[in-house]
Chains A and B, each alone.
Chain A
Amino acid sequence: MSVLSAQHLRKSYGDQAVVDGVNLAIEKGQCFGILGPNGAGKTTTLRLLLGLIAPDSGQIQMFGHAIPQQAREVRQRVGVVPQLDNLDPDFSVIENFMVYGRYFGLSKTEIAQRIPALLDFAGLSNRADAKIQDLSGGMKRRLTLARALVNDPDLIFLDEPTTGLDPQARHLMWQGLRRLLNQGKTIILTTHFMEEAERLCDRLVILDHGRLIAEGAPRELIAQHIEPCVTELYGENIAHWRDSFAAQLCARHENVGETLFCYSSDGAALMQNLHTQTHLRFLHRPASLEDVFLKLTGRELRD
């Protein structure tokens, strides 16, 4: 049975359908990703799943309970990392755990027992008494994640956990999430980093204008939508090269500004040709989730 499932979810603001017929099923122990451009409805979907807002129509079950009717009971087993940090600035790191644990009805001794492990998880063992304002962005994000673990949740919601973090901080966050998955916890996360989704997610959906436009494991989605190899060509004579060779050497190609994207199944013939074209610069790489994302959602800005 799924830990969390939703059928035909709909939510509109005014006449804008922000979530438009979403179906999901998340299995225990999975890392489930929700990708989508800005304004696609990711945060709204999470808020619906958490029972913070009621859908216009559709059903949600979490741990076999109906949401939002039984959201309060279910949230005892859930941890949430919101898109924007809302750590309590009136308290120190350790007091944040204390105060937050109380909201779950935990006793002082229970929380105190958990704090060392949580501090360690967040990499903040030596900053236990620091004020929130004195923490870096990465520390705050890790603390927000550790705080979400204070009730030892089975299911963790993360809304863009690594947005705004530097590569070091991001890798640390990923390690933390992997540890949680290894402990058997279920994770649902939204992200704008395709690399993050590719590394962490067992399954993911792509959401656009409130609708699911793709669903599957990252590798499956890449195999399904994009040829295995992508070559990006830059330079002044691209148009000329394209007219002479593209049809013959690329399974598919597209022009984006000054760049020509060339999709092929192995690219050997293409490589041979390109090594003779000294005036062109190029990058040859395997197809990625980002290619899928851009193919399905288009390249225009959303807001």
Chain B
Amino acid sequence: MSRNYLTLPTLSLRFIPVWRRNYLVWKKLAIPAILGNLADPMLYMLGLGYGLGSLMPSVAGVPYIAFLAAGTVCYSTMNSATFEVLYSGFSRMHVQKTWDAILNTPLTLDDVVLGELVWASTKSLLSGIAILVIIWALQLQASFWLSLWIIPVVVLIGFCFSGMGLVMNAVSPSYDFFLYYFTLVITPMVLLCGVFFPVSQMPAILQNIAAFLPLTHAINLVRPLMLGHIPTQAWLHVMVLIAYGAAGFYIALGLTRKRLLS
């Protein structure tokens, strides 16, 4: 009779109060939060873009800062989603026991984890848009109308990395554990997936590895849109992001059920 932890998630709109709870907390400190999240990627983009960019004629046929802009949107969205589910999510689940309190109400763990997923995606969308606003202000995009398509892609990126991060949250004994995820997953992706330089500059073996990493697919969608082209193989990249996010969510839910409901 013991519960099967791997039954499919029950998705319903009951996740909204969970989302709303996180939104209300965020709203209290919204402006400093946005500025804080923006500062780091913006400084990288401007510092490297103009500083390093001035030493280079062009990268992939465009000024370096325009090249870097797409990468910055992607990695800043990824970071925002990841930090939210890892540190803030863990604090709500494990430290403050907010999830336990919610589980005593008619909401289920499926609702809670879905609420966290949607919330982290929302928050990372705000981060992505904040960077886009800077990019638009600096006119780094080739076509404004085409660059608007980056917004739905940012939603996908947020979903993808929120789902993946929730797995770490489910298995982590403490905050320290998240360092492994950053060292072994996030940082390598930032360096290998084409944020700072084209993937084609790397040896074949690294290119092959990069082809499997979700950030590569995010960048393969955002960079063309930024530089004024329609992405090639767009559906493949979209499916990869969805697959990583959905698999992450499903595995995370199974592991969290085992962690909290056994």
Residues of A at the B interface (CB closer than 8 Å) are 50, 52-57, 68, 72-73, 75-76, 78, 80, 82, 84, 86-91, 95, 99-100, 102-105, 148, 151
CB contacts under 8 Å to A, within B1-48, are 1-3, 14, 17-18, 20-21, 24-25, 28
B106 within 8 Å of A by Cβ? yes
* Cβ–Cβ contact B2 & A80, under 8 A: no
Q: Which of B2, B28, B100 contacts A56 (CB 8 A)?
A: B2
Say whether, besides A54-B1, A56-B1, A82 and B21 are in contact (CB < 8 Å). Answer: no
* Cβ–Cβ contact A99 & B105, under 8 A: no
Q: Which residues of B contact A90 (CB under 8 A)?
A: 25, 28, 96
B229 within 8 Å of A by Cβ? no
* Cβ–Cβ contact B108 & A72, under 8 A: yes
CB distance from A136 to the nearest CB of B (A): 19
Q: Which residues of A contact B105 (CB under 8 A)?
A: 75, 100, 103-104, 151
Q: Which of B14, B28, B100 contacts A82 (CB 8 A)?
A: B100
* Cβ–Cβ contact A99 & B104, under 8 A: no
> Taking each of B21, B106, B107, which has the highest tally of chain A beta carbons within 10 Å of its own beta carbon?
B106
Q: Which residues of A contact B102 (CB under 8 A)?
A: 103
Say whether, besides A53-B261, A57-B1, A80 and B21 are in contact (CB < 8 Å). Answer: no
* Cβ–Cβ contact B21 & A52, under 8 A: no
* Cβ–Cβ contact A88 & B108, under 8 A: no
Say whether, besides A82-B101, A102-B20, A76 and B106 are in contact (CB < 8 Å). Answer: yes
Q: With the chains together, A182 CA to B144 CA distance in Å?
A: 67
Q: Which residues of B contact A73 (CB under 8 A)?
A: 106
* Cβ–Cβ contact B261 & A52, under 8 A: yes
Of all chain A residues, which has the CB nearest B100? Answer: A86
Q: Which residues of B contact A87 (CB under 8 A)?
A: 101
- Other contacts beyond A72-B106, A99-B21: 15, CB < 8 A: A54-B1, A54-B3, A54-B261, A75-B105, A75-B106, A82-B101, A86-B98, A86-B101, A88-B98, A89-B96, A91-B24, A102-B21, A103-B102, A103-B105, A105-B106
Say whether, besides A52-B261, A86-B98, A104 and B20 are in contact (CB < 8 Å). Answer: no
Q: Which residues of B contact A75 (CB under 8 A)?
A: 104-106
Of all chain A residues, which has the CB nearest B109? Answer: A52
* Cβ–Cβ contact A86 & B97, under 8 A: yes
Q: How large is the interface on B (under 10, 10 to 19, 20 to 34, 35 or more residues)?
A: 20 to 34
Q: With the chains together, A76 CA to B107 CA distance in Å?
A: 9
B103 within 8 Å of A by Cβ? yes
CB distance from B213 to the nearest CB of A (A): 34
Q: With the chains together, A91 CA to B17 CA distance in Å?
A: 15
Say whether, besides A72-B106, A80-B104, A53 and B262 are in contact (CB < 8 Å). Answer: yes
CB distance from B12 to the nearest CB of A (A): 10
* Cβ–Cβ contact B106 & A102, under 8 A: no
* Cβ–Cβ contact B97 & A84, under 8 A: yes
Q: Which residues of B contact A105 (CB under 8 A)?
A: 14, 17, 106
Q: Which residues of A contact B17 (CB under 8 A)?
A: 99, 102-103, 105
* Cβ–Cβ contact B24 & A99, under 8 A: yes
Q: With the chains together, A50 CA to B261 CA distance in Å?
A: 11
Q: With the chains together, A82 CA to B104 CA distance in Å?
A: 9
CB contacts under 8 Å to A, within B63-117, are 96-98, 100-108
* Cβ–Cβ contact A86 & B96, under 8 A: yes
* Cβ–Cβ contact A88 & B1, under 8 A: no
Q: Which residues of A contact B98 (CB under 8 A)?
A: 86, 88
Q: Which residues of B contact A68 (CB under 8 A)?
A: 3
Q: Which residues of A contact B21 (CB under 8 A)?
A: 88, 99, 102
* Cβ–Cβ contact B106 & A91, under 8 A: no
Q: Which residues of A contact B14 (CB under 8 A)?
A: 105
Q: Which residues of B contact A82 (CB under 8 A)?
A: 97, 100-101, 104
CB contacts under 8 Å to A, within B219-261, are 261
Of all chain A residues, which has the CB nearest B105? Answer: A103
Of all chain B residues, which has the CB nearest A13? Answer: B262
Q: With the chains together, A73 CA to B105 CA distance in Å?
A: 10
CB distance from B84 to the nearest CB of A (A): 14
Q: With the chains together, A75 CA to B24 CA distance in Å?
A: 25
Q: With the chains together, A167 CA to B146 CA distance in Å?
A: 69
Q: Which residues of A contact B24 (CB under 8 A)?
A: 91, 95, 99
Q: Which residues of A contact B18 (CB under 8 A)?
A: 103
Q: With the chains together, A148 CA to B3 CA distance in Å?
A: 27
Q: Which residues of A contact B104 (CB under 8 A)?
A: 50, 52, 75, 78, 80, 82, 148
CB distance from A302 to the nearest CB of B (A): 23
Q: With the chains together, A104 CA to B101 CA distance in Å?
A: 12
Q: Which residues of A contact B97 (CB under 8 A)?
A: 82, 84, 86
CB distance from A238 to the nearest CB of B (A): 48
Q: Which residues of B contact A91 (CB under 8 A)?
A: 24-25
Of all chain A residues, which has the CB nearest B21? Answer: A99
> Taking each of B3, B105, B262, which has the highest tally of chain A beta carbons within 10 Å of its own beta carbon?
B105
Q: Which residues of B contact A88 (CB under 8 A)?
A: 21, 96, 98, 101
**A-B contacts, 19 listed (Cβ < 8 Å):** A52-B103, A52-B104, A54-B2, A55-B1, A68-B3, A72-B106, A72-B108, A75-B105, A86-B97, A86-B98, A86-B101, A89-B96, A99-B20, A99-B24, A102-B20, A103-B107, A105-B17, A105-B106, A151-B105
